[in-house]
Amino acid sequence: MNYQLINLKVFGDTRGSLISIEGRNNIPFDIKRVYYIYDTTPGIARGKHAHTDLEQIIVCVNGSCKFLLDDGIRKEIVELSRPDLGLYIGKNMWREMFDFSHGCVLMVLANKHYDENEYIRDYDKFLKEIIT
Establish whether 51 is a catalytic residue. no
Report the C-alpha gap between 29 and 58 in whole angstroms.
Answer: 13
Q: How far is CA 12 from CA 9, 26, 122, in A?
A: 10, 17, 44
Sequence-ordered list of residues with C-beta below 8 angstroms from that of 66, at least 6 positions apart, any chain: 77, 78, 79, 80, 97, 98, 99
Report the C-alpha gap between 32 and 27 in whole angstroms.
Answer: 12
**Pairing status of strand 119-120 against strand 46-51:** antiparallel
Q: Which member of 49, 51, 102, 113 is catalytic? A: 49
Give the active site residues: 49
